[in-house]
C-alpha cells in the first residue's frame, strides 16, 4: 500500500476515533450498567400510587398496570401482589413499588439495547459500521512487512479466537 493511502487511512481513523469517543463512552457505561441488570445495583426504589378501573381480576391487573405481576393473595376486597403491592377491587386504588434506573441510565440502556422500532436505530448501525471500519483500518496504517503488522495480526486473531471460545463455553 502506498504511503499516501496509509496517510489517508490514518486521517480517517484519527478523526472518526475522535468523533466516536463520546459514543463509545456512553456505550461502555451502559454496558457496565447492563452487566448488573439482574440485581438492583444502580436502581432506585419508587413507590407508585395509581387509580385503576375498579373490579379488575388478578388476570387483568397485570395488563392494566402494563407489568408482569405475581399475585400472592386475595381477600375479596384487595389483591396482594409482588412483595407488598396492593389493589383495592372496589375503589381501584393501587399501590406498589418498582426498582428503576435513574432516567439518564435508563435512556443510556435503551440506546444500548435499541432495535429497529427505535427512531435512533441508525445510530447503532452507524456505530457498528464505524467500529468495523476501525478494526479493519488499523491494519492499513502499517506496512504489511513490518514486524508490528504481524504482531497486530496475531493479537487480532487471538482476540477473535478468545471471543469465539467464550461464546461457546
Query: Which of 81, 100, 119 is the last residue in one of the domains?
Result: 100
Q: Which domain holds residue 110?
A: 3-39+104-168
Give me the number of domains the chain comprises.
2
Query: For residue range 42-75, what is the model confidence (pLDDT) as tens digits?
Result: 899 889 999 999 998 888 888 998 888 888 888 8
Q: Which residues lie closer than 8 Å to 71 by C-beta, 6 or more apart?
A: 58, 61, 79, 80, 81
Alpha helices, DSSP H, located in 45-146: 58-65, 103-112, 121-137
Q: What is the pTM for the complete model shown?
A: 0.59
Cell numbers representing residue 10 in the block = 490514518
pLDDT exceeds 90 at position 95:
yes
Do 34 and 111 lie in one domain? The reply is: yes
Do 24 and 51 lie in one domain? The reply is: no
Query: For residue range 111-149, what is the model confidence (pLDDT) as tens digits?
Result: 778 888 888 888 888 888 888 887 887 777 777 888 888
Amino acid at each position: 500500500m502506498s504511503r499516501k493511502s496509509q496517510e489517508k487511512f490514518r486521517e480517517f481513523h484519527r478523526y472518526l476515533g475522535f468523533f466516536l469517543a463520546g459514543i463509545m463512552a456512553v456505550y461502555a457505561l451502559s454496558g457496565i450498567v447492563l452487566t448488573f441488570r439482574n440485581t438492583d445495583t444502580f436502581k432506585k426504589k419508587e413507590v407508585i400510587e395509581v387509580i385503576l378501573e375498579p373490579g379488575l381480576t388478578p388476570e387483568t391487573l397485570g395488563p392494566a398496570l402494563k407489568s408482569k405481576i405475581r399475585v400472592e393473595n386475595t381477600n375479596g376486597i384487595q389483591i396482594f401482589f409482588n412483595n407488598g403491592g396492593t389493589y383495592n377491587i372496589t375503589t381501584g386504588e393501587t399501590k406498589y413499588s418498582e426498582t428503576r434506573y435513574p432516567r439518564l441510565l435508563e435512556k443510556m440502556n435503551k440506546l444500548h439495547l435499541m432495535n429497529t422500532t427505535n427512531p435512533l436505530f441508525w445510530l447503532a448501525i452507524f456505530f457498528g459500521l464505524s467500529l468495523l471500519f476501525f478494526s479493519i483500518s488499523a491494519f492499513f496504517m502499517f506496512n504489511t512487512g513490518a514486524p508490528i503488522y504481524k504482531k497486530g495480526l496475531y493479537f487480532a486473531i487471538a482476540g477473535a479466537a478468545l471471543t469465539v471460545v467464550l461464546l461457546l463455553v
